[in-house]
Amino acid sequence: MQPNRYYTIMPDGTVKQVNPFTGTEVWAVAGRKNRPITNEQASGAKPIELHSPEDYCSFCPPRYFETPPEKSRLVQRDGRWDRIDALSPDRYFETEASFRRVGNMFEIVTLDYWRKNYAYKMPVQRQRWKEEYLANPAGLKHITDIVTYKLKQDGKTDEQIEKTPMTEKLALADAFFGGCHEMIIAKRHFREGATYDAELFSSGDMTPEEHFRYFALTVDAIRDITQVNRYVRYVSVFQNWLRQAGASFDHLHKQLVALDEWGASINGQIRMVREDPNVFNDYGANFAAHHNLIFAENDFAIAYAGIGHRYPTLEIYSRGQAGRPFEHQENEIRGVSELVHAIHAAMGSQISCNEEWYYTPFDAVYKMPWHVLIKWRVNVPAGFEGGTSIYINPMTPIELRDRLVPRLYRLRDEKKIAWIRIAEECRVDPNPLKYYLK
């Protein structure tokens, strides 16, 4: 590969980029949209009527029964974080969940997909959980209610729902217990002290500790899915923030979707690793270092402005030797979480974005590093892009870097983010990613 193919600054300031991992061709024109990031109210924000406790949507705490049964919750008590698995439904309101892990009522890859294509069977412990849940009157009511809701959403009339036999309704509930499309839901809907509807609680509004717990629960969920369904080859993890990024709920949550393939993007990246084991350093971290795109790091992760993305994109890489999130030590997960958190905090809550996780698939023998991309959904690809396959990104990687750096310094001074090295403090040692080691 020839490095200068991927990143060229033209004399007029246009930055031509090709993503080394996807081949996406992108141009960015410097200064085209040079607005600083602020946390100012979006125009059109409306005052909210404050409710305590918050009950603005089905993900809010008083409405625990509007989501499928809880696989796990994290509870903060006596200075500890406790995980409670498969909580009995009559005890939902005895503790307050800081984070909850539940099935997605509207699965992308359904339980039936696994059943019909692979003869997948719910494992015994999940089957038992379902039976116990339904044997509990609160559980039976919960399941009947959400199945009814789901049938209504599917377009069934009240009469049709009435006539659906109970056995059929309860069979529909299997997906809530044994399905592999899940959500991790945060507690808050709006941020503390919010007065406007645009002041939603974002990843950056958490403390570094809360964000780490959110990450760790997600990592646990990936591992658990692989143990429940042996046909899973990859679990896609993402967070859509705000409607423009595809979020159907304003309330902060991550999603996990189990897949029976890796997808084209991971396939391509694994092929590259096979040809050049150091490719994620060569064309990722080292390349970013040479072009001064690295803007933050700690001992466990590094962050830089990405090249060749349709949207302004921040990339956060684990330095760890392990290729999968759940093979990382706790302090390594914390390190990745702290950089991701710092970036969300520096962006503020008003920028719509997708957070996407990438890592070594379960059945890959070639390792790629765990990394997280944060894509700002601030532009809409239009006709020019469709016709040329050249994408116009409204910001150059350098502009993106320079927008975050001053805010990172300020947040670090205010102790709102964990201690990280910023901009010129970064050591940028060669080959910082250690995934290539056996």
Whole-Å CA distances, 188 to 40, 54, 80, 141: 20, 7, 19, 26
User: Can you read off the two tokens belonging to residue 218?
Assistant: 């997600």
Contacting residues for 430 by C-beta, under 8 A, at least 6 apart: 281, 286, 289
Minimum distance from CB of 182 to Zn ion (Å)?
18
In the shown chain, the binding pattern of residues 121 to 160 toward Zn ion, with x for contact by CB under 5 A and - for none, equals ----------------------------------------
Minimum distance from CB of 175 to Zn ion (Å)?
23
Q: For residue 360, give the nearest of 321, 386, 416, 390 by alpha carbon.
A: 321
Cα–Cα dist 146/142, whole Å: 6
Instruction: State the angle between helix axes of 124-135 and 137-153 in degrees (0 to 180), rounded to the nearest 10.
Output: 100
Please identify which residue in 57, 166, 382, 437 interacts with Zn ion, judged by CB under 5 A: 57
Q: Which stretch binds Zn ion (CB under 5 A): 115-123, 246-254, 392-400, 412-420?
A: 246-254
Q: Maximum Cα–Cα distance for the chain, whole Å?
A: 72
Specify the residue, 59 or 304, whose C-beta has the smaller distance to Zn ion: 59
Cα–Cα dist 319/301, whole Å: 5
For residue 187, state whether it binds Zn ion (rule: CB under 5 A). Answer: no
Q: Which stretch binds Zn ion (CB under 5 A): 157-165, 184-192, 282-290, 401-409?
A: 184-192
Specify the residue, 54 or 315, whose C-beta has the smaller distance to Zn ion: 54
Please identify which residue in 71, 100, 142, 189 interacts with Zn ion, judged by CB under 5 A: 189
User: Can you read off the two tokens belonging to residue 117?
Assistant: 């294509």
For residue 60, state whether it binds Zn ion (rule: CB under 5 A). Answer: yes
Minimum distance from CB of 310 to Zn ion (Å)?
30
Specify the residue, 150 or 251, whose C-beta has the smaller distance to Zn ion: 251
DSSP code, position 231: T
Strand partners, 27: 16, 392
Specify the residue, 56 or 409, whose C-beta has the smaller distance to Zn ion: 56
One-letter amino acid at 269 equals Q
Specify the residue, 251 or 367, whose C-beta has the smaller distance to Zn ion: 251
Minimum distance from CB of 250 to Zn ion (Å)?
7
Minimum distance from CB of 185 to Zn ion (Å)?
9
Minimum distance from CB of 55 to Zn ion (Å)?
8
DSSP string of 336-382, one letter each residue: HHHHHHHHHHHH-SSS-EEEEEE---TT-SS----EEEEEE------
For residue 417, state whether it binds Zn ion (rule: CB under 5 A). Answer: no
For residue 61, state whether it binds Zn ion (rule: CB under 5 A). Answer: no
User: Can you read off the two tokens belonging to residue 407?
Assistant: 């805010």
Mapping DSSP onto H, E and C, the string for 65-76 reads HHCCCEEEEEEE
Number of residues located near Zn ion, criterion CB under 5 A: 6
For residue 48, state whether it binds Zn ion (rule: CB under 5 A). Answer: no
For residue 59, state whether it binds Zn ion (rule: CB under 5 A). Answer: yes
Specify the residue, 1 or 57, whose C-beta has the smaller distance to Zn ion: 57
Contacting residues for 186 by C-beta, under 8 A, at least 6 apart: 98, 99, 201, 206, 214, 251, 252, 253
Q: Which stretch binds Zn ion (CB under 5 A): 50-58, 133-141, 194-202, 283-291?
A: 50-58
Specify the residue, 97 or 296, whose C-beta has the smaller distance to Zn ion: 97
Minimum distance from CB of 84 to Zn ion (Å)?
21
Minimum distance from CB of 190 to Zn ion (Å)?
8
Cα–Cα dist 333/213, whole Å: 10
Q: Which stretch binds Zn ion (CB under 5 A): 9-17, 39-47, 245-253, 314-322?
A: 245-253
Minimum distance from CB of 217 to Zn ion (Å)?
18
Contacting residues for 193 by C-beta, under 8 A, at least 6 apart: none
Minimum distance from CB of 191 to Zn ion (Å)?
12
DSSP code, position 123: -
One-letter amino acid at 398 equals I
Please identify which residue in 27, 56, 149, 238 interacts with Zn ion, judged by CB under 5 A: 56
Q: Write out the binding residues for Zn ion, residues 265-294 only, by CB under 5 A.
A: none
- 52 CB neighbour count, 10 Å cutoff: 5
For residue 251, state whether it binds Zn ion (rule: CB under 5 A). Answer: yes
Q: For residue 396, give the nearest of 10, 20, 21 by alpha carbon.
A: 10
Specify the residue, 73 or 412, whose C-beta has the smaller distance to Zn ion: 73
The residue ranges that bind Zn ion (CB under 5 A) are 56-57, 59-60, 189, 251
